[in-house]
Amino acid sequence: MQVLTVPVTPFMQNARFITCPETSKTAIVDPGGDADKLLKCIHDGQLNIECILLTHGHLDHVGAADELKKALGLEIIGPHLDEKFWFDALPMQSQMFGFAPKAAFYPDRWLSHKEPVSVGKMQLEVRHCPGHTPGHVVFYHNDSSKVIVGDVLFKGSVGRTDFPKGDASQLKQSILEQLFTLPEETVVLSGHGENTTIGFEKYNNPFMSGQYG
């Protein structure tokens, strides 16, 4: 998997372009805003975009998805159906986060736990990881030892659970069962900040060791 990271919005959310090296087909993961910036990256890189993948429904991860869908004729895939209430609440989210007004929109397809998703010939495994939000999913690519985790896990930290329907104990369980069971060399591509690895977080993350929280 080839990965191009483009931080967007004042939240510096990591929008990702993930490309199948065999077919050059690309997916956009979590286009949280700045649609013009992302469209320029697509044009300049001559990227062959196949679909949009979403980890969860927070505005800073989905804010440009509908605009890119209309501009490029793409399908929006994910997250899990339990996330629908956050898409219903997009107008409220735009006020809460200080973004421009945003009408509600919905994915073309919801995802289920362990469901495979293809980008070119790459097979991604969907893992449902509730806690930060109830319908949050991550995308694991075994062949390149990478996992795109949205706001579940960060270097030295974990996702917030003080939003509606957040659950700290559920988040910890998701990380233990769905992420820390991956090979330790797996690279973690988080929704904000720098990359880390499963091994580093297993042994150093203070929120998972019990040092905090």
Structural domains in the chain, CATH included, are 2-209 (3.60.15.10)
- Helix, strand, coil shares of the chain, percent, nearest 5, are 30, 30, 40
Query: Which residue is associated with the tokens 């580093």?
Result: 200
The Cα–Cα gap between 27 and 1 comes to 11
pLDDT-above-70 percentage for the chain: 98
What letters, b where the CB count within 10 A reaches 16 and e where it falls short, cover 89-121? bbeebbeeeebeebeeeebeebbeeebebebbe
**pTM of the prediction?**
0.97
* Distance set, CA 151 to CA 79, 157, 164 (Å): 13, 10, 15
For the chain, what is the mean pLDDT?
Answer: 96
Q: Tens of pLDDT along 71-84?
A: 999 999 999 999 99
Does 144 have pLDDT greater than 90?
yes
- Confidence class for position 213, pLDDT limits 50, 70, 90: low
